[in-house]
Amino acid sequence: MKIKQVLSALERFAPLPLQESWDNAGLQLGLTEAEVSGALLCLDVNEAIIDEAIRKGCNLIVSHHPLLFRGLKQITDANYVQRCVIKAIKHDIAIVSMHTNMDNALDGVNFKIAERLGMNHLAFLAPSSSEKAETSGSGVIGHLPQSMQSEDFIQLLKARFQVACVQCNALLERPITKVAICGGAGDFLLDNALAQGADAFITGEMHYHQYFGYDQQIQICVIGHYQSEQYTAEIFRDIIAKDCPDVPTYIAETNTNPILYI
């Protein structure tokens, strides 16, 4: 099985045209004609992730966040991105990133978050304006298996996403049933959530001023960028297992979250 076959499987699930205009998803570096020895699946790429790939005999890394986001004018040891490029090339490791195309795909990142909460009746929060509106869009909205009080809902989030704390606005004084989701930085969809009658909105990070003005309208729950997207590697694993079953896959053990809760 060649790297290009794994890349094709990932892109069939989350086509590159679904990515946002500012993004840089897809093949980051490496030779796709090489045979796959193993695939390490992760959220971010840093030197520790490449070291883990080397230890596990993987010559392919599949990440959510792109390693190469802005153009490189030199490749030295000046920063971790350049050092990663050097180390990956030295060890013949290809790197592929599925970012906003995976965010915007059916059964992508936001559907995985909803799955962790046992939600049903799922739909895109902001469907694509193209002819593929039913199969692509931003965010997800759906229903919890049963209504919950805000305190219990927040405790559920902490347990399911292993978060130390949840940043919230004032606790909602009515039960939460309908929930909107946008993993990562999702405050641009808060008004969409309100317009569709969501009782709660879950995202990974949000600007300070966005918390104002929504008390008793919607329960805002910000769980951390890394925490909201940490299960994305499970999507990669399932795609590869289905379409490239002979490829060994490993969900990264390295925690790449740069934010500490002390």
What is the per-residue DSSP string for 54-69?
Answer: HHTT-SEEEESS-S--
Of the candidates 211, 192, 182, which has an alpha carbon nearest to the alpha carbon of residue 126?
A: 192
The pLDDT score that the predictor gives to residue 133 is: 62
Q: Using CA of residue 175, residue 178, residue 183, residue 184, what is the dihedral sign?
A: negative
CB 112 within 8 A of CB 234: yes
At which residue do the structure tokens 């379409």 appear? 243
CB 219 within 8 A of CB 199: yes
Q: Which residues contact 169 (CB under 8 A, 6 or more apart)?
A: 211, 214, 215, 219, 220
The pLDDT score that the predictor gives to residue 131 is: 60
Q: Tens digit of pLDDT for each residue in 21-65?
A: 999 999 999 999 999 999 999 999 999 999 999 999 999 999 999
Q: Inform me whether the pLDDT recorded for 98 exceeds 80.
A: yes
Q: Inform me whether the pLDDT recorded for 134 exceeds 80.
A: no
What are the backbone dihedrals phi and psi of residue 5, each rounded to the nearest 5 degrees, phi first?
Answer: -70, -40
| Mean pLDDT value of segment 148-167 | 97
Q: Which pairing describes strands 94-97 and 26-29: parallel, antiparallel, or unpaired?
A: antiparallel
At which residue do the structure tokens 């840089």 appear? 24
Q: Inform me whether the pLDDT recorded for 132 exceeds 80.
A: no
